[in-house]
Amino acid sequence: MAIERTLSMLKPDAVKNNITGKINSYIESSELKIIAQKMMLLTKKQAELFYEIHKDRSFFLELVEFMTSGPVIVQVLVGENAVSKYRQIMGATDPKQAEKGTIRGDFADDISENRVHGSDSLENARKEIAFFFAECELV
Ligand code: GDP
């Protein structure tokens, strides 16, 4: 089993609804550790760059608007198979498909406001962590 790092983001709807502590308890109940965490308000440019892969999708403008609508919490999680483990804890992208017991299954109703982001591959985890954190911030 490989020890990995992954990037987690608690999206504006999670902060607005005051459920970041509850979400962190899902993370901490698994074997993942939060090794860095900060609250920030994404600029339009940051949100566009972060979700660049979706720039041609019909929901891109809506996504950027949502991601800049309020503060987010970005986190780095570490643990065995952290990338796939966190994807399991998050649940399916569309909360209607997400299983109960997952963050999206328990706290979200709609794909456009699905509470959390998690890297989908080790390569993207490295890029996304570097997008938000300097190595010296990972403790
Ligand atoms: P994720 O890795 O599970 O977050 O899913 P994706 O990378 O496929 O999509 C990125 C984000 O775009 C999702 O988490 C949603 O917030 C958003 N998204 C995806 N599909 C839709 C859609 O059909 N409509 C809207 N409004 N947002 C979407």
What are the tens digits of pLDDT across the range 31-55? 999 999 999 999 999 999 999 999 9
Which two three-digit tokens encode residue 86? 């966190």
Task: Put residue 79 in one of left, alpha, beta given phi > 0 → left and psi -120 to 50 → alpha.
Answer: left
Is pLDDT of 1 > 80?
A: no
Gap from CA of 136 to ligand 1 centroid (Å): 30
Q: Is 62 in the pocket of ligand 1 (CB under 6 A)?
A: yes
Which two three-digit tokens encode residue 17? 């609804």
Q: Is 115 in the pocket of ligand 1 (CB under 6 A)?
A: no
Instruction: Point out the residues that are catalytic.
Output: 117
Residue nearest to atom 17 of ligand 1 (CA): 112
Q: Which of 68, 109, 111 to mutate to test the pocket of ligand 1 (most atoms within 8 A of CB)?
A: 111
Q: What is the pLDDT of residues 81-124, one digit of tens each?
A: 999 999 999 999 999 999 999 999 999 999 999 999 999 999 99
H or E element: which one contains 33? strand 33-40
Domain 3-134 sits in CATH at 3.30.70.141
pTM: 0.97
